[in-house]
């Protein structure tokens, strides 16, 4: 499984960005998707995950109400819409995939994920 992430950039506090993660080639099987992030000097942390069906999602508390994950199976893309961004959201964001049950948002544990995209940098200025 190969993933490609894009959409990072520089934005002012309160602004919005949309990240996209695409399977590099058509992939057979059911994969739950997730976004993690890693700020300078910190460990990689879970942000959100979504089930293969797209119906079950799990968010870390700090982004609830601001971030929304969605997936489009026609384009094999999972997007992360980030609104009301804060300086503490500054990090390199990574998408990841793991086999998962149809309606099951996958784990918060990064060790669960075998496939990772390259990171995309999000910088939020105050």
Q: Which tens digits make up the pLDDT trace of 2-48?
A: 899 999 999 999 999 999 999 876 666 689 999 999 999 999 999 99
Q: HEC string of 37-67?
A: EECCCCCCEEEEEECCCCCCEEECHHHCCCE
Residue position matching structure tokens 């997007």: 79
- pLDDT attached to residue 30: 86
Average pLDDT, integer, range 91-95: 97
Read off the pLDDT band of 73 (50, 70, 90).
confident
Kindly report the CA angle at 22 between 115 and 39, in degrees rounded to 5?
Answer: 65
- pLDDT attached to residue 2: 86
């Amino acid at each position: 499984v190969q993933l490609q992430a894009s959409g990072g950039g520089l934005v002012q506090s309160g602004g919005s960005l949309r990240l996209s993660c695409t399977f590099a080639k058509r992939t057979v099987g059911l994969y739950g998707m997730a976004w993690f992030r890693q700020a300078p000097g910190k460990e990689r942390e879970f942000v959100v995950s979504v089930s293969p069906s797209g119906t079950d999602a799990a968010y870390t508390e700090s982004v609830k109400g601001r971030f929304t994950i969605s997936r489009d199976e026609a384009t094999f893309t999972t997007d992360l819409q980030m609104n009301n961004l804060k300086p503490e959201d500054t990090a390199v964001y990574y998408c990841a995939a793991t086999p998962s049950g149809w309606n099951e948002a996958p784990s918060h544990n990064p060790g669960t994920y075998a496939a990772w995209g390259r990171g995309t940098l999000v910088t939020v200025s105050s």
